[in-house]
Amino acid sequence: MNYCIEKNYRNNDALRASFNRLAEKTFGLNFENWYQNGFWKDNYIPYSVVIDGEVVSNVSVNACNMNYKGKIVKLIQLGTIMTDNDHRGKGYARVLMEEVIKDYDGKVDGIYLFANDSVLEFYPKFGFKEAKEYQYTKEVTISDECKAQNIPLKGKDDFDRAIKILDTNEQNAQLYMVGNSGLYMFYLSQFMTENLFYIEECGSYAIAEMEDDTLILHTIIGNGAVDEVIRAFGSKIKKVVLCFTPKDTGGFEKTELHEEDTTFFVQGKFFEDNQNEEYIMQAITHA
């Protein structure tokens, strides 16, 4: 069957709608609100097999440049990898992976992705290797009352303020994404509209969730000390789970991260040079 490969077509209403239908069917996700709010920019590039105007297979490229210990590293993350059930087994995913690697080979410091268990034999064919991530946690006792101020995100003005915060502040992390606030906003504008906080004492922001007595801290935006930020969430918190690697890991317990149905695959010089480093890719930047 004749097909064509379309790339970076976000402003093509018909193709974007078809892409959204496939994403909805495959993952239960729809990118339309993200697009309408202006967060889908050139750093999210779908590579799609299109047949008779319909997107039947896709691999998306996310430009995920990282600040790693003060230096900018040029990375891409592959995501939204999907093929319609009626078109599986025809080699479309392979064709798209080859096209992506052809376009980016030698132009970035590394490529990474998160794969589910059903496709673990697929990615090594393209030079990817399994890699480890490490998570930091600790038990805490806090006597202070909660002082973290929730910043609700309800509309464009709030979203614009969040983007400015992300774009103009460093993060207290060894490894964090820069130049792609749109990917952060994929979460903050849809699933995490109640998860941005301001900690006045240290002039920093935190993206965080509370589950019973556990604080899940996604990132600290600003130079606030990790312990100071944690303390601002008050005495209810007994355990802290970091979804990033702090600059200072002292006092935290480190464990190799094992996520159900998720394997971290990497290739490229950055990952080769740092294969013995013990970091985690920020969960809030998973594509």
Rounded Cα–Cα distance for residues 138 and 113 (Å): 28
pLDDT at residue 42, as a whole number: 94
Mean pLDDT of the chain: 95
pLDDT tens for 4-30 read: 999 999 999 999 999 999 999 999 999
Rounded Cα–Cα distance for residues 159 and 10 (Å): 20
Per the structure block, which two tokens stand in for 268?
């490229």
- Domains of the chain with bracketed CATH: 4-133+258-285 (3.40.630.30), 136-255 (3.40.630)
pLDDT tens for 109-122 read: 999 999 998 888 99
Q: Which residue has the tokens 């303390």?
A: 231
Q: What is the pTM of this model?
A: 0.93
pLDDT tens for 145-185 read: 999 999 999 998 999 999 999 999 999 999 999 999 999 99
